[in-house]
Amino acid sequence: MADPRFFAASGPFTVAEIAARTGARIGGAATPERLLRDVAPLQTAGIEALSFFDNVKYRDEFARTRAGAVLAHPKMAAQAPAGLCLLLTEKPYRAYAAAAQMFYPVAPVVSGIAPTATIDPSARIGDGTAIGPHAVIGARVEIGRQCRIGANSVIGEGSTIGDDTRIDDNVSVSHAVIGARVRLFPGVRIGQDGFGFSADAEGFVKIPQLGRVIIEDGVEIGANSTVDRGAGPDTIIGAGTMIDNLVQVGHNVQIGRNCIFAGMVGISGSTKFGDFVMVGGQAGFAGHLTIGRGARISAQAGVMKDVADGETVGGTPALPLREAMRQALALKKLTGKGGA
Amino acid sequence: MADPRFFAASGPFTVAEIAARTGARIGGAATPERLLRDVAPLQTAGIEALSFFDNVKYRDEFARTRAGAVLAHPKMAAQAPAGLCLLLTEKPYRAYAAAAQMFYPVAPVVSGIAPTATIDPSARIGDGTAIGPHAVIGARVEIGRQCRIGANSVIGEGSTIGDDTRIDDNVSVSHAVIGARVRLFPGVRIGQDGFGFSADAEGFVKIPQLGRVIIEDGVEIGANSTVDRGAGPDTIIGAGTMIDNLVQVGHNVQIGRNCIFAGMVGISGSTKFGDFVMVGGQAGFAGHLTIGRGARISAQAGVMKDVADGETVGGTPALPLREAMRQALALKKLTGKGGA
Amino acid sequence: MADPRFFAASGPFTVAEIAARTGARIGGAATPERLLRDVAPLQTAGIEALSFFDNVKYRDEFARTRAGAVLAHPKMAAQAPAGLCLLLTEKPYRAYAAAAQMFYPVAPVVSGIAPTATIDPSARIGDGTAIGPHAVIGARVEIGRQCRIGANSVIGEGSTIGDDTRIDDNVSVSHAVIGARVRLFPGVRIGQDGFGFSADAEGFVKIPQLGRVIIEDGVEIGANSTVDRGAGPDTIIGAGTMIDNLVQVGHNVQIGRNCIFAGMVGISGSTKFGDFVMVGGQAGFAGHLTIGRGARISAQAGVMKDVADGETVGGTPALPLREAMRQALALKKLTGKGGA
């Protein structure tokens, strides 16, 4: 059960209610009226908890679980222990997400402005918004309704923030136009100067960075990630895109909608991404590239050329994954032949 | 045009004034008296904007631009659209940097100490310096003139900061001797203990970290980068060096003058860099290496040996670039022969 | 000598006292009654300073040192300059650590709560604990004795912190159970939501992240590192583990005791580590892996499979180090034969 010091569960809900909300079909040793009070992993779930089975690595835990009900794919039903109530669905993880949100809905914002916050008189704060202790809100900032600005965060002058956006503690924002339902995790840095200067034997001359950061609706940006503002064009992060921790987004980068960037990805300036791109952890991108819609980039890849729509690439320098795997295999054979 | 919520343009300036300041020669459909009010990228610049053309990738944008004038290399003049006023120079990007600084000079510091800042009585603050809300200035800190210390930043006891240095919001500084005209971007961490301990089967014993961080004049350090203080010797960053976001500089590292480190570079303890070294993003360095003057390190390289003056290396483990490319080509041929 | 603006040395101590504390044997030109007032590197140590010699790279510095005494391995004694007092030990670096702690003991906490801190009335703060300016302590937080909470740090509601733990400036903690003698360096982020959502063609659904972060006794976590809380299970960092700067620990990760993670390592969700694992800088781990006790992972390795107890792996995808080296050698031979 989730630690009550940190989480308060709603509910209980019956198996039938959960089936109705998630669209799953009740199967196995069906107990539609059973009350479930929580969600839990397979190995720790008790008779009052809902769990899910979505990764075959956890097959043994599934076979031994004591959960009150388990969301699982129909083809896994045969492996369930006798007596287990199943909630069968083609997408167990998605259904679990919906069910877990029933038990643990996002807490509503408790509005109010901390007396220790420093707010410029020209800033406009929407109804129902909460601003934490020692937060700093600059001149002409506009913040929407039901937002939450964390403690010790700083919103620089002129930035705008849409409704239902949550900015966590110790965040810095400047030169930004932020949409609705955005989430910035602790330590995120938005809007600082890009890494722009002219470098030659005479030394460096800084280029004024005159663009903004545009963050569209529903974007999430993980802890301690950094997004530089544009140099002239804007840096843009498309609606619904999810960015993990410690990611670097350079100036003028344009990211499409519903992309996923795992942790520690680095994107050099002016590279553009289509929609639905997925990028593995620690991958890096040279500047001025075009990465096509639906492309997939392996973890730690070093992408130095454009990537076509729907293509999957890996390695450094990144190649189509089939080619990268062919090279790895050739190398293995080479040493297998008594090589070194 | 730059968003007036964030940027206020100086000017206007005539084409002739810009030519004079940048050293460019007026060419193409010369209009020396035309008034320019802003800078803009080729694709969005209107008749009152100055632009630049420096990367052949943007050739089409150059051919179609409606800019009032464009800084370009003389050899590109033939590709300009008819009627375009050119400002011809061998170094268009450098000239653009200078011109953009005419339109958007760095705003002067508005001095003043926020009433919510916490400043030790023994600290000395120079004339014209601004200290933001909730900043914390420790005992015996010395800050020069015309500096800016951002909101919620912390300057630990004994540290010194030269004139015209700007430390942004949410920065932590300790054990540091910082020069003039330095810029630390949001979330930078300077001066914490290095990763120093004796490790063996008996467990770990911490090594007291007794050095400092010396940051020389004109250095810039990007958002959320970290610089550990020395263990005994100091960690040193030479004058004019530019460091991008999310870079890690280990204890005792010595960096020369005018080096460039792109984002997410990691430098292990006690490695030394000569002047004018350029390092690509996500490259990593083992400890106790010597990287020669003018060396160039490719993005994602893993440098495990010393690098000679002027050498270019890439790959993991890093090799002279010619050798690394030879290996990549050999591998490609191997699989091309029907390999796997 | 360490800069007195930042460090105050205890002592002096005689060579004999240092020998007694470190277990070293006095040798070379023995001067057991000599007073030593400080520690210093070989190249700068004067007659009143203790130094150490542990890396053959610094052989020349050892041969020329003017230190008052040097901790060194007995087999290096022959290379010492005439007249140098030696402190001979099998583990010079470990002995140096102990000696340096004699000269520079950790300063005791000066208790007191800054008047500008924001502390919830329901929080409990132990005796002797110091809380810095503008720190924010949430509801029901429990902090032990002799702790230090830095300026502008935020401890979220319900979190608990053991005795003698030090949390530096600008840190964010939530959903965390933190042990005794833990150190969190500036800018660390603990307890934010993991990167958990169901992603498919219908879009993303967030998974409520219902676990905690458990940080056991004696753990250290470097500047700007991030540790996500568990999704249901907890994220756990075992006692005595050392984590460097800019490391990412994903949700549900379990790390054993006395592990070492160098800077910029990335760990995807649900990967488990045994005790005494050592990981080089910028290495990355896929999710749901098991890394055995005492395994060693090379810098920049990309680990995509389980690693057995005691195994050493490197490269991307990571292979047993012998195999990775064999491949590198084969490739070198291939190009050496006139390849490209």
pLDDT score, position A244: 98
The pLDDT of residue C94 is: 93
* A203 and B CB contact within 8 Å: yes
- Work out the angle at residue B272's Cα, subtended by the Cα atoms of residues B269 and B273, and round it to the nearest 5 degrees: 130
Q: Looking at chain C, which residue has its C-alpha nearest residue A152? A: C152
Tell me the CA distances in angstroms from A264 to A289, A304, B265, C19, one per residue in order: 19, 17, 11, 46
HEC string of chain C equals CCCCCCCCCCCCEEHHHHHHHHCCEEEECCCCCCEECEECCCCCCCCCEEEEECCHHHHHHHHHCCCCEEEECHHHHHHCCCCCEEEECCCHHHHHHHHHHHHCCCCCCCCEECCCCEECCCCEECCCCEECCCCEECCCCEECCCCEECCCCEECCCCEECCCCEECCCCEECCEEECCCCEECCCCEECCCCCCEEEECCEEEECCCCCCEEECCCCEECCCCEECCCCCCCEEECCCCEECCCCEECCCCEECCCCEECCCCEECCCCEECCCCEECCCCEECCCCEECCCCEECCCCEECCCECCCCEEECCCCEEHHHHHHHHHHHHHHHHCCCC
The H-or-E segment that residue B242 falls in is strand B242-243
Same domain, B192 and B286: yes
- For residue B145, the distance in angstroms to the closest alpha carbon of chain C comes to 21
Please indicate whether, in this complex, the C-beta atoms of B170 and A172 are within 8 angstroms of each other.
Answer: yes
Q: Is A62 on the interface with C (CB under 8 A)?
A: no
Given a cut of 60, is residue A204 above it in pLDDT? Answer: yes
Q: What is the per-residue pLDDT for A331? A: 77
Cα–Cα distance, A189 to C41 (Å, whole number) = 38
Q: Is residue A328 in some structural domain?
A: no
- The Cα C281–Cα C297 span in angstroms is 9
Q: Which residues from chain C sit within 8 angstroms of residue B250, using beta carbons?
A: 263
Say which of C73, C175, C251, C288 is annotated catalytic. C251
For C12-25, the pLDDT digits (tens) are 999 999 999 999 99
Q: Which of C58, C73, C103 is the last residue of a domain?
A: C103
C240 contact A CB<8A = no
Same domain, A178 and A262: yes
Residues A25-47 have a mean pLDDT of: 93
Q: How far is CA C276 from CA A92, A175, B200, C242, C291, in A?
A: 36, 45, 10, 10, 11
**CATH assignment at residue A99:** 3.40.1390.10
pLDDT at B338 over 50: no
Clarify whether residues C183 and C314 are in a common domain: yes
Of B162 and C324, more confident: B162
Distance, in Å, from the CA atom of A111 to the CA atom of C233, rounded to the nearest integer, reads: 31
In contact, C299 and B302? CB cutoff 8 Å: yes
- Compare all CA atoms of chain C with the CA of B192 and give the residue at the minimum distance: C185
Give chain C positions within 8 Å (CB) of B304.
299
CATH number, residue A207? 2.160.10.10
**C-alpha closest to that of C256 among C286, C196, C214:** C214
H or E, element range at A26? strand A25-28
* Alpha carbon of B202: minimum distance to chain A alpha carbons (Å): 33
Question: How many angstroms away from the CA of C104 is the closest CA of chain B?
Answer: 7
Q: Looking at the predicted complex, does its ipTM rise above 0.85?
A: yes
B287 touches chain C (CB under 8 A): no
With a cut of 50, say whether residue A338 has pLDDT above it.
no
Question: How far does the CA of residue B217 sit from the closest CA of chain A (Å)?
Answer: 13
Q: Cβ of B258: how many Cβ atoms within 10 Å?
A: 19
Tell me, what amino acid is at C107?
A
Q: Report yes or no on C127 lying in a domain.
A: no
Q: Is the pLDDT of residue B197 over 60?
A: yes
Domain assignment present for B241: yes
User: How close is the nearest chain A Cα to the Cα of C119, in Å?
Assistant: 10
Q: Using CA atoms, how far apart are residues C109 and B163, in angstroms rounded to an integer?
A: 33
**Is the distance from CB of C162 to CB of C142 less than 8 angstroms?**
no
Which residues in chain B have their CB less than 8 angstroms from residue C315's CB? 316
Separation CA B216–CA B94 (nearest Å): 23
- Residue B306: the pLDDT is 98
Q: What are the distances in angstroms from CA A64 to CA A52, A72, A77, B40, B99?
A: 13, 14, 14, 64, 70
Helix A15-22 with A92-103: angle, nearest 10 deg: 120
CA atoms of C214 and C138, how far apart (whole Å): 18
Once rounded to an integer, what is the mean pLDDT over residues C204-227? 96
DSSP states of B52-112: EE--GGGHHHHHH---SEEEE-GGGGGGSPTT-EEEE-S-HHHHHHHHHHHHSPPPPP--E
Would you state the structure tokens that stand for residue C215, as one six-digit string? 């940080």
In terms of Cβ atoms closer than 10 Å to its own Cβ (0-12, 13-18, 19+), residue C313 is buried
Q: How far is CA B286 from the centre of its chain?
A: 22
Sheet holding C290-291, edge to edge: C124-125, C142-143, C160-161, C176-178, C213-215, C235-237, C254-255, C272-273, C290-291
CA distance C169 to A208: 31
CA atoms within 13 A on the CB side of A309: 4
Interchain CB distance below 8 Å, B281 and A284: yes
Nearest to A86 by CA among A131, A43, A25, A145: A25
**A325, containing H or E segment:** helix A321-336
Shared domain for C176 and C307, answered yes or no, is yes
A252 within a domain of the structure (yes/no): yes
CB contact, 8 Å: A323 with chain B? yes
Give the number of other CB atoms < 10 A from CB of residue B199.
16
Asked if B199 and B311 sit in the same domain, the reply is: yes
- The candidate with the shortest Cα–Cα distance to B253, out of B265, B268, B266, is B268
3-state helix, strand, coil in chain B (%, to 5): 15, 30, 55
pLDDT in tens, C152-182: 999 999 999 999 999 999 999 999 999 999 9
Tell me which long-range contacts C332-337 makes (C-beta under 8 A, separation of at least 24).
C332/B327, C333/A339, C333/A340, C334/A334, C334/B327, C334/B330, C334/B331, C334/B334, C335/B323, C335/B326, C335/B327, C335/B330
The answer to whether residue B71 sits within a structural domain is yes
Q: Chain B within 8 Å of A286 (Cβ-Cβ)?
A: yes
The rounded percent of chain B whose pLDDT value lies above 70 is: 98
User: Does residue A325 or residue A279 have the better pLDDT?
Assistant: A279
- Same domain for A318 and A178? yes
Q: Are C245 and B228 in contact (CB under 8 A)?
A: yes
- Interchain contact, A334 vs C329, CB within 8 Å: no
Tell me which chain C residues have a C-beta less than 8 angstroms from the C-beta of A336: none
Point out the residue among B140, B198, B232 whose CB comes nearest to the CB of C94. B198
Q: Is C70 on the interface with A (CB under 8 A)?
A: no
B73 is annotated as an active-site residue = no
Nearest CA in chain A to B9: A210
* Nearest CB neighbour to B187, from listed C150, C187, C263: C187
Do C99 and C175 reside in the same domain of the chain? no
Of the candidates C118, C210, C224, the beta carbon closest to that of A2 is on C210
Residue B340 in domain: no
Other CB atoms within 10 Å distance of the CB of residue B336 = 11
Do C196 and C302 reside in the same domain of the chain?
A: yes
Q: Which residues pair with C136 in a beta bridge?
A: C118, C154
Contact C268 A281 (CB under 8 A): yes
Q: Which amino acid is at C122?
A: S
Number of domains in chain C: 2
Q: Using a CB–CB cutoff of 8 Å, tell me whether A97 touches chain B.
A: no
| Per-residue pLDDT tens digits for C58-67 | 999 999 999 9
Mean pLDDT, rounded, of chain B:
94
Domain with B70 in it: 13-103
pTM of the model: 0.95
Q: Does A108 touch chain B (CB under 8 A)?
A: no
Q: Poorest-confidence range of A181-195, B138-152, B225-239, C202-216?
A: C202-216
pLDDT at B336: 61
Shortest Cα distance, chain A CAs vs residue B315, angstroms: 8
Which of these, C273, C283, C271, lies nearest to C241 by C-alpha position? C273
Neighbours of chain B (3+ CB pairs under 8 A): A, C
Contacts of C152 in chain B (CB under 8 A): 134, 136, 152, 154, 170
Shared-domain flag, residues B221 and B308: yes
- Residues A291, A178 within the same domain: yes
Measured torsion, CA atoms of residues B132, B133, B134, B136, in degrees rounded to the nearest 10: 20
CA gyration radius, chain B? 24
Cβ-contact A315, A297 below 8 angstroms: no
- Residue B326: per-residue pLDDT: 83
Where does a domain end: A45, A79, A103? A103
Residue from C196, C193, C202 nearest A23 by CA: C202
Q: Is residue B238 part of a domain?
A: yes
Give strand pairing partners of B75: none
pLDDT tens per residue, range A255-278:
999 999 999 999 999 999 999 999
Measured between beta carbons, the chain A residues lying within 8 angstroms of B133 are 118, 134, 136
pLDDT in tens, C123-152: 999 999 999 999 999 999 999 999 999 999
Q: What pLDDT band is residue A336 in, cutting at 50, 70 and 90?
A: low
Let me know whether B188 and B295 are in one domain. Answer: yes
Identify the bridge partners of residue B35 per DSSP, sorted by sequence position: B14
Nearest to B230 by CA among B246, B216, B248, B250: B250
Residues 6+ apart with CB under 8 A from A176: A156, A159, A160, A190, A191, A212, A213, A214, A215, A229
Whether the Cβ atoms of residue B25 and residue B90 lie closer than 8 Å to each other: no
Query: Of B94, B114, B332, which has the smallest distance from its Cβ to A205's Cβ?
Result: B94
Q: b vs e for B293-332, b when ≥16 Cβ sit within 10 Å of the residue's Cβ?
A: ebbbbbbbbbbbeebeeebbbbbbbbbebebbbbbbebbb
The share of chain A scoring above pLDDT 70, in percent, equals: 98
Residue B3 lies in a domain: no
Same domain, A180 and A316: yes
Inter-chain touch C226–A187, beta carbons under 8 Å? yes
- Of the three residues B103, B135, B155, the one that is the final residue of a domain is B103
What pLDDT sits at residue C336? 61
Q: Given a contact as 3+ CB pairs under 8 Å, which chains touch C? A: A, B
Structure tokens at A269: 């300036």
Higher pLDDT among residues C234 and A335, named by residue? C234
